[in-house]
Amino acid sequence: IVILAELRDAVEEILPALKEKGITVYLLSDECTTDGIQCIGQAIAKASDTPLSPSLRSNIHIRTTALYIYTSGTTGLPKAAYVTHERVWASSFIQGVCGVTSEDIFYINLPLYHSAGFLIGLVGSIERGNTVVLRRKFSASQFWDDCRKHNITVMQYIGETLRYLCNMPKKANDRDHKVRIAIGNGVRADVWKEFLNRFGRIHVGELYAATEGNVGFINYTDKVGVVGRINILSKVFFPFSIIKFDIEKEEPVRNAEGLCIPVGKDEVGLLVGKITKHTPFVGYAGNEQQTEKKRLGDVFVKGDLYFNSGDLLRIDHENFVYFHDRVGDTFRWKGENVATTEVADILMMVDCIEEANVYGVKVEGHEGRIGMAAVKLKEGREFDCVNTCSVLANYLPVYARPRFIRIQNSLEVTGTFKMKKVKLVEEGFDPTLIRDPLYFLDLPQKKYVPLSQEIHKSIVSQDIKL
């Protein structure tokens, strides 16, 4: 293991365990005083400059593991996905598909331990032969200053980063930059529109992919809100299907023969990618149980095998592809499916709300999960109990409106700026356990009211009907 000096303390805690496994630790430095950690600078200085024998890499081929990349961990613990040389090579062409050339200056401020920053950003720039400006950490306040200073022409985004840029105070020089392309994934349609209106005509290359997956899409058009468009080559290179899915049981719907059922146009379903020699699914390192969970058999014929993306998508009549929600995020209430991304988009229309994270929570004595949202308010604003209720009523049916609101100073995100939900779901809506302000949607009063212990008891005892 090669580590930076700043990680030495963390590694020292697990040194005994590493030694037991026969793992050598190198510090990226010329000197080190910690017993058990070697200095890579000294090792490099002593190394021979004679070319290595080709026999040392004779067992390495296109399908050999090149590296491990951890999944984001939005709906559970991160898992180390195998990434082969083939995947690294294929990812390097994404910049080219989005129109990036060797003349561009590419700004990377995302973690290099993730697919976006490393595979699409760094490896893609090596393939293109362009210039990379590498920032240690994303900063919304310094983003555009960096772009102007370094003449950035291509930027990356992921998850909530475009929203962070839109939430910054407006400036007269917002459009004073040379950025022409933005490549990333996970931007909501409302933020996409706001970003273009404010910062000018930038081609947004929104894409859909999973680190460990075998199917992906890229929006090579300028249509807002889509993650790609199906063409004649799509299913040749990535044989996939979207199948009917039971949200409540969290499993595919099967017919009398036990096979899955494809959805129609504009119908939401589970994306699955056929596992073949050319579109393999390698799985997760040291986690065969999770690997097997991602393999879906007997999809269209007995014995076939597909990769279960865990994502709900739809394709419209013009073959545009839309991301709908994660399987673990979409929940069912009162016999209806509720898409958390759609509800979050509506919540963001409320004037006092800056960010929203929507999820479903269990209520004793009720089937399914009821809607709840953790929100961050705009600076200096208070939660507007009446207007929030009014906006939601204008755009959402009763079953989709969050019955509980949790006000937080900041919303927890992953290292790749995706909203974390697992802990929020586990904590539920009990005011005796949660210190954050909680509100309950009182439908007769047409407003949100503070969630007191009395109201909570009445909900649990079913004196208050949901």
* Mean pLDDT rounded to a whole number for the chain: 92
pLDDT in tens, 17-70: 999 999 999 999 888 888 889 999 888 888 899 998 999 999 999 999 999 998
Over range 125-149, report the average pLDDT.
Answer: 96
With contact defined as beta carbons under 8 Å apart, do 294 and 305 qualify? no
d(CA 442, CA 452): 12
Would you put residue 13 in left (φ > 0), alpha (ψ -120 to 50) or beta? alpha
| 194 Cβ contact partners less than 8 Å away, ≥ 6 residues apart | 166
CA dist list (Å): 35 to 2, 8, 20, 296: 15, 11, 15, 48
Domains of the chain: 2-47 (no CATH), 65-324 (3.40.50.12780), 329-460 (3.30.300.30)
Over range 209-223, report the average pLDDT.
Answer: 92
pLDDT in tens, 232-289: 888 888 899 999 999 878 899 999 999 999 999 999 999 999 999 989 999 999 889 8
With contact defined as beta carbons under 8 Å apart, do 454 and 448 qualify? no
In three-state secondary structure terms, 294 is: coil
Q: How confident is the model at residue 335 (pLDDT cuts 50, 70, 90)?
A: confident
Residue 426 has what DSSP assignment?
A: H
In three-state secondary structure terms, 85 is: helix
Say whether pLDDT at 321 is over 80: yes
d(CA 94, CA 181): 12
Q: How confident is the model at residue 328 (pLDDT cuts 50, 70, 90)?
A: confident
- Give the largest CA-CA distance in the chain: 81
Tell me how long the chain is.
466
- Give 1-5's long-range contacts (Cβ < 8 A, gap of 24+): 1/25, 1/26, 2/26, 2/27, 2/28, 2/40, 3/27, 3/28, 4/28, 5/29
pLDDT in tens, 382-421: 999 999 999 999 999 999 999 999 999 999 988 777 888 8
